Chains A and B, each alone.
Chain A
Amino acid sequence: MSFSVDAVRAQFPILATSVHGKPLVYLDNGATTQKPQCVIDALNTYYSSQNSNVHRGAHYLSDVATAEFEGARQVVADFLNASREEILWTRGTTESINIVAQCYAREQLQTGDEILITAMEHHSNIVPWQLACERSGATLKVVPVHDDGSLDMEAYDALLSERTRIVAVVQVSNSLGTINPIAEIIAKAKAIGAVTLIDGAQAISHFPVDVQALDCDFYAFSGHKVFGPTGIGALYGKRALLEAMPPYQGGGEMIERVTFAASTWNELPYKFEAGTPNIGGAIGLGTAIRWLDNQDRVALEQHEASLLDYATERAGEIGGLRLIGTAPNKVAVLSFLLEGGHPNDVGQLLDQQGVAVRTGHHCTMPLMDRLGIPGTVRASLSVYNDKSDIDTLFNALNKVKTFL
């Protein structure tokens, strides 16, 4: 299979648009990825000719919608190498983590137990555990990071103990791009009997994930960060754990039988899916994953790695630019500060030139505190970015410097 970035780009209509009269250079893929035409078409087809409620209709359209919706679940299951009963539809990574924090941590943990996270977690992999600790009496422990943004694995070993009940770790840092050695982290947690959750939000679009090979207990990701729609995501959980957990929300769909005396729960995965789900979103996500699966993943990874190398090299040529996050193992994320300019100034002046980046603390305030900075400018790349996007970024940064 030959790889052509132009052929990939051509499938994303938004990349041909302009902002402030300049061609769009979209470098905010860590926040959300753009959607290929096939995903846009799938949503259109669903709402134009398939829309119906799932699982209970006594009519043709409901059967079509159910087949599409459950087909999408199977696509996600195959993508992660899981079985379909272990894939729960959620609103995204945040809800996925909250389900585990509420239905597992809060139920199972008690005073003296510990939950271990890292200093580079997104707020959505911090706050749900804080809430679970408050309710259960457990304690939150934090694995520190080195100055280059890599995880302190010696500290991890030291913090891991028989009190550790849950290890919840981000696979790829959204702020810095650091790839954590999660296979090692999971194996060590497993050795002491802790349950593991991997926040895969920033990893899922960059490289293949196999939950059985990793042997994690839970894996969370968002659809919109992997070329799918917003408002849909998934939680993978090992069957035995999901079976033992109480339901997340009560309502329709999640029940087997309801009487005023008591109700019994539906089987997996429906037990955790109260109410009418995001049917269109699930179908869109299934389409996005099928699209990604049909690409040459190795070629995409190589393409992203070469973009990161090129961007890092160009960053070194800009005086006053300080890279934040230089771990040896990184996805194509360039977080930086420009001397004399607040990240917001830099972001706004880039925006005027058509370059979309994110600025600020990236929902990782404790990490920014650790690094002693208010935030960064973050350029996060995806498969459809090319060398000319990076050239435009650095030309625009040279112009920004004339303002500071």
Chain B
Amino acid sequence: MSDQNTNPRTEWPLWEIFIRGQHGMSHRHVGSLHAPDAEMAIKNARDVYTRRNEGVSIWVVEAEKITASSPSDKGPMYEPSQSKVYRHPTFFDIPDDVGAM
């Protein structure tokens, strides 16, 4: 903390911005920006990402707080679900006579 105070030239932290485009939709990642704190990040996000009614709600998350999966884990992470085809409804043959199901 004191270290940071003696170095006022620190760059503003990076924030990831998520916007709900319309009522009923999830928030979606739209990009990032720099701001001194969360409150300013929301204000900046309004100017940078919603100049044309692109949103009804904004989330901001400090970029360094995000933990992401690593691309090299892609195999072990998602492989197990590939062998479980029975999780999809199309796995089961239902006779046409049964009707919509």
Partners in one complex: no
Instruction: Please give the residue numbers on chain B whose beta carbons come within 8 Å of chain A beta carbons, in ascending order.
Output: none
